[in-house]
A = this chain, B = another copy of it.
Amino acid sequence: MYTGMSPGDLMLLQFEVEQFLYTEARLLDDRRYAEWINLLTDDIHYWMPIRRTTVSSQTDMEFTEIGGMALFDDNLDFLKLRVAKLQASNAWAEEPPSRTRHTVTNVQILDIDDNGRIIVGCNFQLYRSRLECDEDCWIGSRKDWLQRDADGSFRLAGRHIFLDQTTILSQNMSNLF
């Protein structure tokens, strides 16, 4: 647990975590996918479950579980495929490329797991502008696992993405969250 940390150490960790998340978001928006892939651990799980409308007493069914269907359910190989595709110049959903903007807010260090990975919660807003006048906006929360490497830098070891939409109101989700 990180609760034993001094306020100063906590603030420093918060600062480092935020800057890491901003850098990572910037790489995606700048279409620097190769560098983005380098920020991931080999064992990353990148997952967006399907969300459903349920009554309040049955919200245990709100999200599909790991093992059920999902919108993203990627290991590093699948993420590399996605990135390779984005770079392929014939991935038509992104050719001409969209203009994306990943905004990360309400960043909170939630916990440190048994592997020493920092569990970070945040809100996200992914805005996409495409061709002349297509606009999409995806909003939700995320839970990220950050691994501290020997050189002090972070890599992303896990990302669970909880979109607030149920029916996806866009024609695809061809971007990374």
Contacts and interface: CB of A to CB of B under 8 A. Distances in A.
A140 interface: yes
Interface in A86-121: 89, 94-97, 99-108, 121
Given A22-B108, A23-B108, A26-B106, A53 B132 contact: yes
A54 B96 contact: yes
A131 B164 contact: no
Contacts of A125: 103, 125
Contact of A104 (B57, B105, B133, B140): B105
A166 B89 contact: no
A153 interface: no
B15 A11 contact: yes
Interface in A23-82: 23, 25-26, 29, 31, 51, 53-57, 59
Contacts of A167: 132-133
A5 to B, nearest CB: 12
Report, as a range, how many residues of chain A touch the other chain.
35 or more
A169 interface: yes
A95 B139 contact: no
A92 to B, nearest CB: 11
A7 interface: yes
B23 A101 contact: no
A174 interface: no
Given A22-B107, A26-B121, A133-B166, 9 more contacts: A22-B108, A25-B123, A26-B108, A55-B89, A56-B97, A101-B139, A103-B105, A132-B167, A133-B167
